[in-house]
Chains A and B, each alone.
Chain A
């Protein structure tokens, strides 16, 4: 029985047991992950698995259950329990499953599924992981090694059917390399981090990933604390993308509707500098998060969220769309077979500006180039936007990157920061860190920088 037949059969069983609508997603995942320590493979982990998640709708109540036991008896037991417990849920008129779109999402596009990821031999993948560390070590004699060296890849096939006519398969692949290089001399040891990612096996540039991490470690060697001051800050893509991830969470319609986002009630208000335009585009050609349908089978689309600093719309799935009387933007996401679909980003981006990135630096006589933020999840309040983030960086002196500094904390508020963006560069870059976020380098006028001295 293939995945679609299994999904249909499971759906039929649910529909025969008194629910009004149902949805079955079957997720098949093949993964490889290899970690290396001191030029020796530490762990080689290759696995394939399959599981399914079911949503049922009855009397405006929605229920979810999931399992990786696919035999008929286990499936029936699971569905019987689900149909029984859903009666206890709170009815909510916004609960819904989408109907089949006229746009037939799975039929009108190309696939980003690279078979090479599945057939490349394991030994070759081990060599890729070793090469990753080797490239960092070879780059400069001051590179002492690496504390994290990982090659990994994932191939995922998600088969979705619902009782309203949605049926299709989304397929995607991802290859990634993660390295934290260690560089230093007898007085100072520093680390530099980078993640390289590609939707194809050959598209992953191992050497470039290693060199980027090595450079980031090297430039910090000899760093010292800075003076406390208010300074213009420059955020390169690898740092700015992490800030934007918090903006994306506040643009989630579910958070907005429930009063958990300060963007609530601010539609059409100017919430950021005119230089800030933010878009989520699930259909972007070649994007790492590109899928033609979301986790509910709704066609993905390009959604303008902030245009020239004005808040235009939010990220919707079918539930939030129905609640707001609008249509889904195709932003339902499913982390794994065991996760209930919820709103999330696809290819999320701050659009590039027209300021060449060199010029953006040249205009700063005294400022801080933020090279890395530490413990961001603890250092930023995802609700109020207040932040105080320990950082390392490079001082900017007379328009040039100068001495490295550590032990500094930048503090302020995310909403103020968005208003204070005063230059957006033209070096748009995608950053993979779980979510897929793209941004150019951008600059923010005076931010408080606190220090140990």
Chain B
């Protein structure tokens, strides 16, 4: 991967050209990225790698975004692109814009001990081989195993007329995921597990070691195979801490992204209002070291921060980019993110989690007479931000009977509206876990995010399952 940086003088010239037809602001996003993967599927190991780089030029005028890209970094090509985007943005006659960029602080520390593109492929092959063996070994019901080790590194230069600086950062991710297909007769289930860490393989330790992840996927598959079908109906649901936070990412987070608020999301116009149980505080935090949604500054130069979205039930802030903050005359929150140089930034979540409460998690289960314990989340979810209706799924769940976790159930889908769920939270544990979730958030562009929560009980939630109609009461 080429490592030459663009000259600040060239970036100044290009930015001036971008601003030459009049604009609120403009920025240049230059990226060089390398993506690599080693995968084992059907006991066969293959690898691949992709190099991708280019420059995106954005001109914002009257809060409208005009965008173009170039894969070439030749000065003439960049100048032409800047003029082209400026022309698209405005009919105003040419005028002198004065921009002189200075180099911004360069003391951002990389999360990688060794950059992924410098790692020895033998090390990755060994990790994948060992994951494959772990998943297959000593269990007759395994039908297939897929193991993936993927890493990426993205080196970015951001020149902006807002900050007047050229900033540099290195982003990247190491992802390890396992899918284990488990079958018996005519039944087939897949158990999945994975982690995405903004850092190298040395971070995969303890319960997130490569071996633990492979075993967890296998165990999730076997538990589904041995489980009964989930019941259907409205019931209390207790969520295990960690990855289940994806529920709040879907049910609440998206509706608080300022561009979707502007479109009339269910959370629009509710700042300062009670939208949740007073037990609920919801954060979106881009500062947790090595987390997939963390970075020193966002993709338009705003420093990262921890933003309180909900404090003790009251809606405080939305997630803002530069454009949405200008539209609603507030401060940007560092949530302007892009998948890569092909996209202009839009408000996106970072690592979103519910803050810790005070209850002992065991007491939460003990105080639930009958309900569902959602242990391992399924494959993401979806939300209609206008109505607030969301769907998420649970890979491994358990019945709670007389205050005890009893039998496993599979195929539970959870749905409802975000504000209803938030208001129905009646117990919050003291065991907050924020998870380096694998899997990405899609919103036209896909970006890595983290999620988290402590053990939480939702008094009543619609559970869809293939099993019997739920007869139990809700508290």
Contact status B393-A67, CB under 8 Å: no
Contact status B264-A90, CB under 8 Å: no
> A268 in the interface, Cβ–Cβ < 8 Å?
no
Chain B interface mostly helix, strand, loop or mixed? strand
Residues of A within 8 A of B (CB): 37-38, 40-47, 49-51, 62-69, 74, 78, 81-82, 85, 88-90, 92, 122, 144-148, 180, 182, 189-191, 228, 257-260, 262, 338, 340, 374-379, 381-384, 386-390, 406-407, 409, 411-413, 448, 450-452
- Closest residue of chain B to A84, judged by CB? B121
> B8 in the interface, Cβ–Cβ < 8 Å?
no
Contact status A375-B121, CB under 8 Å: no
> B411 in the interface, Cβ–Cβ < 8 Å?
yes
Q: Given the known A-B contacts A68-B51, A409-B415, are A377 and B188 also in contact in the complex, defined by CB atoms under 8 Å?
A: no
Compute how far the CA of A408 lies from the CA of B387 in the bound complex, rounded to whole angstroms. Answer: 15
Compute how far the CA of A50 lies from the CA of B54 in the bound complex, rounded to whole angstroms. Answer: 11
Chain B residue numbers with a CB within 8 Å of A122 are 88
Q: Residues 28-60 of chain B: 1 if any A CB is under 8 Å from the residue's CB, otherwise 0?
A: 000000010000011111111111111000000
Chain B residue numbers with a CB within 8 Å of A377 are 379-380, 382
Chain B residue numbers with a CB within 8 Å of A182 are 264, 386
Chain B residue numbers with a CB within 8 Å of A228 are 232-233, 469
Provide a sorted-by-A list of 5 A–B residue pairs whose CB atoms are within 8 angstroms: A147-B263, A259-B188, A260-B190, A377-B379, A378-B380
Chain A interface mostly helix, strand, loop or mixed? strand
- Closest residue of chain B to A147, judged by CB? B263
B residues 191-241 with Cβ under 8 Å of A?
A: 224, 229-230, 232-234
> B136 in the interface, Cβ–Cβ < 8 Å?
no
Contact status B48-A63, CB under 8 Å: yes
Indicate the size class of the contact surface on chain B.
35 or more
- Closest residue of chain B to A182, judged by CB? B386
Chain A residue numbers with a CB within 8 Å of B344 are 43, 45
**Distance in Å: Cβ of A64 to nearest Cβ of chain B:** 4
> B413 in the interface, Cβ–Cβ < 8 Å?
yes
Contact status A388-B464, CB under 8 Å: yes
Chain A residue numbers with a CB within 8 Å of B379 are 377-378
Chain A residue numbers with a CB within 8 Å of B188 are 259-260, 262, 383-384
> B286 in the interface, Cβ–Cβ < 8 Å?
no
Chain A residue numbers with a CB within 8 Å of B259 are 37, 42
Contact status A379-B391, CB under 8 Å: yes
- Out of A41, A46, A74, name the residue touching B68 (CB < 8 Å): A46
Chain B residue numbers with a CB within 8 Å of A63 are 46-48
Contact status A89-B47, CB under 8 Å: yes
Q: Residues 231-267 of chain B: 1 if any A CB is under 8 Å from the residue's CB, otherwise 0?
A: 0111000000000000000000000000110111000
Residues of B within 8 A of A (CB): 2, 35, 41-54, 64-69, 71, 88, 121-122, 125, 143-144, 181, 183, 186-190, 224, 229-230, 232-234, 259-260, 262-264, 342-344, 378-387, 389-393, 410-413, 415-416, 462, 464-466, 469
- Closest residue of chain B to A68, judged by CB? B71
Contact status B54-A49, CB under 8 Å: yes
Contact status A49-B71, CB under 8 Å: yes
Contact status B68-A259, CB under 8 Å: no
**Distance in Å: Cβ of B410 to nearest Cβ of chain A:** 7
Contact status A45-B411, CB under 8 Å: no
Chain A residue numbers with a CB within 8 Å of B68 are 45-47
Known contacts A45-B67, A64-B48, A377-B382, then 8 further A-B pairs from the complex at CB < 8 Å, ordered by chain A residue: A63-B46, A67-B50, A69-B71, A74-B51, A228-B233, A374-B415, A387-B411, A407-B462
**Distance in Å: Cβ of A169 to nearest Cβ of chain B:** 20
Contact status B464-A450, CB under 8 Å: yes
Compute how far the CA of A126 lies from the CA of B460 in the bound complex, rounded to whole angstroms. Answer: 46
Chain A residue numbers with a CB within 8 Å of B183 are 259
Chain B residue numbers with a CB within 8 Å of A148 are 263
Contact status A47-B69, CB under 8 Å: yes
Compute how far the CA of A122 lies from the CA of B41 in the bound complex, rounded to whole angstroms. Answer: 45
Chain A residue numbers with a CB within 8 Å of B35 are 338
- Closest residue of chain A to B190, judged by CB? A383
- Closest residue of chain A to B389, judged by CB? A374
- Closest residue of chain A to B69, judged by CB? A47
Compute how far the CA of A148 lies from the CA of B383 in the bound complex, rounded to whole angstroms. Answer: 13
- Out of B41, B65, B342, B466, name the residue touching A412 (CB < 8 Å): B466
Chain A residue numbers with a CB within 8 Å of B44 are 89-90, 92
- Closest residue of chain B to A338, judged by CB? B50
- Closest residue of chain A to B388, judged by CB? A189
**Distance in Å: Cβ of A226 to nearest Cβ of chain B:** 12
Compute how far the CA of A412 lies from the CA of B387 in the bound complex, rounded to whole angstroms. Answer: 26
**Distance in Å: Cβ of A23 to nearest Cβ of chain B:** 14
**Distance in Å: Cβ of B132 to nearest Cβ of chain A:** 10
- Out of B42, B54, B189, name the residue touching A384 (CB < 8 Å): B189
Chain A residue numbers with a CB within 8 Å of B67 are 43-47
- Out of B64, B378, B387, B466, name the residue touching A189 (CB < 8 Å): B387
- Closest residue of chain A to B377, judged by CB? A378
Q: Given the known A-B contacts A45-B67, A69-B2, A145-B264, are A406 and B233 also in contact in the complex, defined by CB atoms under 8 Å?
A: no
Q: Given the known A-B contacts A68-B51, A90-B43, A147-B260, are A388 and B144 also in contact in the complex, defined by CB atoms under 8 Å?
A: no
Compute how far the CA of A412 lies from the CA of B45 in the bound complex, rounded to whole angstroms. Answer: 36
- Out of B41, B50, B229, B382, name the residue touching A378 (CB < 8 Å): B382
